[in-house]
């Protein structure tokens, strides 16, 4: 049953275009809708935490590290800290809002309740960029480690024409498309089965990174950190902009709000626990990697951690093989978890009428939006097969940072509009913390290149066209004459 209360429809002239663009979902309605949703509640704190870790810990540390070290030098450790602080401020805001509005829409739903429909659409469109494009980027990294593993174990690799996209020396990236298809098959079986598979893969990749640190520290050379800031603070900022991709996904637990057993209690905990674990691992891996191999040699590396072990640590191929296996499993886990998040955001947007209702149709037996999963997977497969990793990673980062900035603002707005609403977690030192979170997002966005900003502008222009020709006309609030279309 539709949980949005109705009243007689206003005329377009009475409501005005401003009223249509700023109409908001009521927080109580969002909570009630989540409580009576079609999705099945099967996830506890452990599964939610592992979902966030699974969505985050992967290509960013296994592959993108090789792009960030040449930008920052040994100070890449500080780049991780800067990117981590940016993520932490936003994680605190996510934790408060996830406890208040435990739905499937993540920051899209939070923005709908605070800034209105147009801002919610912009946020949702950014999440499509974040989740959809990041899955493609991770899939490309997966293909690189598969080739590394094949070379180490069998002495051959897939031909470049079938293992790289146009612009990177190939024609089609078949392995990248294949892993997206495999994740689709797992997701179609249901959220409980997906959570079990994800938990196993998270355990494997955490063990792989711990193994890397243990082995790389045997070749540690303190001289590799001299000078510590060869490229200055500008290098640290540029490295943080690239490495922010490594933190994308910690918010995945918030997309599982309607499948969590106790969302108000467990969602905030899962978000903060996962980010803490990830940051500690990243800093340890960065110190071990730079300590084992001079930072100048990172340029041009793809399967970065494996190459550190090959060129700097003895023991033959044993350690690189084990690490490559862990990297393949790690990136598989990210593809699975982030692809899950993408489908749940579109599910929420479709329920609100902003995208076609097909994305909100849940299969009776499996309890998952099957058509949604298939369509999203097909789109991501095309991206993964045709677009290089670097362009995908930067595009993902800018969309995510924009969405995170909106989430920080949403906390402040809800503190003013709904000060007495139940909150299972409160951001400490707000509004200072939220303001710093938004400013950090803007600072890291500024470090991205002009080509990334151009691509982001084109993406947002396409999104506004979709909203103008479809979303605003089919909006559930507009169709059912929303109960609260205030714009105060």
Whole-number Å distance between alpha carbons of 346 and 369 = 10
Distance CA 349, CA 345 (A): 6
pLDDT digit string, tens, across residues 134-150: 777 777 777 777 887 88
Q: How far apart are CA 283 and CA 85, in angstroms?
A: 12
Per-residue pLDDT tens for 201-230? 888 888 888 888 988 888 889 889 988 898
Beta carbons within 10 angstroms of residue 223's beta carbon: 7
pLDDT tens-digit map of 46-100: 888 888 888 788 766 776 788 788 888 899 888 888 888 888 888 888 888 877 7
pTM value is 0.74
Residue, of 119 and 191, whose pLDDT is higher: 119
Q: Measure the CA–CA gap between 62 and 66, rounded to whole angstroms.
A: 8
Residue 316: per-residue pLDDT: 63
Q: What is the pLDDT of residue 59?
A: 62
pLDDT digits (tens, 9 = 90+) for 280-308: 888 899 899 999 888 888 877 666 787 78
Residue 84 burial by CB count (10 A; 0-12/13-18/19+): exposed, middle or buried?
buried
DSSP character string of 71-103: HHGGGHHHHHHHHHHHHHHHHHHHHHHHHH--S
Which of 401, 408, 410, 407 minimizes the C-alpha distance to 453? Answer: 401
Q: For residues 140 and 144, what is the distance between their CA atoms, to the nearest angstrom? A: 7
User: Residue 147: what pLDDT?
Assistant: 80
Q: pLDDT digit string (tens) for 303-347?
A: 678 778 877 776 567 777 888 788 788 778 778 877 888 888 898
Compute the C-alpha angle 342/68/456, nearest 5°: 45
């Amino acid at each position: 049953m539709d949980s949005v209360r109705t009243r007689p429809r206003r005329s377009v002239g009475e409501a005005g275009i401003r009223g249509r663009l700023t109409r908001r979902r009521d927080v109580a309605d969002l909570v009630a809708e989540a409580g009576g949703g079609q999705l099945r509640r099967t996830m506890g704190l452990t599964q939610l935490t592992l979902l966030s870790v699974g969505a985050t810990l992967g290509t960013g540390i296994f592959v993108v590290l090789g792009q960030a070290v040449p930008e920052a030098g040994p100070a890449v450790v500080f780049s991780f800290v800067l990117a981590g602080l940016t993520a932490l401020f936003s994680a605190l805001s996510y934790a408060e809002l996830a406890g208040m509005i435990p739905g499937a829409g993540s920051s899209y739903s939070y923005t709908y309740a605070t800034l209105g429909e147009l801002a919610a659409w912009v946020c949702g469109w950014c999440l499509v960029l974040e989740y959809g494009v990041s899955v493609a980027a991770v899939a490309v990294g997966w293909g690189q480690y598969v080739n590394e593993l094949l070379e180490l174990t069998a002495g051959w690799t897939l031909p470049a024409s079938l293992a790289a996209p146009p612009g990177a020396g190939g024609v089609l990236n078949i392995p990248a498309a294949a892993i997206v298809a495999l994740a689709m098959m797992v997701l179609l079986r249901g959220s409980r089965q997906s959570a079990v598979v994800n938990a196993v893969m998270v355990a494997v990749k955490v063990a792989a990174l711990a193994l890397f640190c243990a082995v790389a520290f045997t070749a540690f050379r303190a001289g590799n950190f001299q000078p510590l800031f060869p490229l200055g603070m500008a290098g640290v900022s540029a490295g943080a902009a690239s490495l922010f991709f490594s933190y994308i996904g910690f918010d995945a637990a918030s997309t599982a709000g309607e499948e969590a057993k106790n969302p108000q209690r467990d969602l905030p905990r899962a978000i903060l626990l996962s980010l803490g674990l990830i940051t500690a691992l990243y800093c340890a891996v960065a110190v071990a990697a730079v300590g084992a191999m001079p930072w100048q040699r990172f340029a041009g590396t793809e399967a970065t951690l494996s190459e550190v072990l090959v060129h700097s640590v003895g023991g033959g191929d044993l350690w690189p093989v084990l690490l490559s296996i862990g990297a393949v499993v790690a990136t598989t886990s990210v593809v699975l978890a982030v692809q899950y998040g993408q489908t749940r955001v579109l599910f929420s947007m479709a329920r609100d009428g902003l995208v076609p209702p097909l994305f909100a149709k849940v299969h009776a037996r499996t309890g998952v939006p099957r058509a949604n999963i298939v369509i999203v997977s097909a789109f991501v497969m095309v991206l993964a097969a045709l677009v290089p990793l670097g362009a995908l990673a930067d595009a993902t980062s800018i969309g995510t940072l924009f969405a995170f900035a909106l989430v920080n603002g949403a906390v402040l707005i809800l503190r003013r509009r709904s000060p007495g609403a139940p909150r299972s977690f409160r951001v400490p030192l707000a509004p200072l913390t939220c303001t710093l979170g938004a400013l950090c997002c803007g600072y890291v966005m500024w470090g991205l290149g002009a080509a990334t900003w151009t691509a982001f502008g084109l993406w947002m222009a396409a999104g506004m066209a979709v909203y103008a020709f479809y979303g605003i006309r089919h909006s559930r609030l507009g169709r059912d004459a929303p109960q609260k279309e205030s714009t105060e």
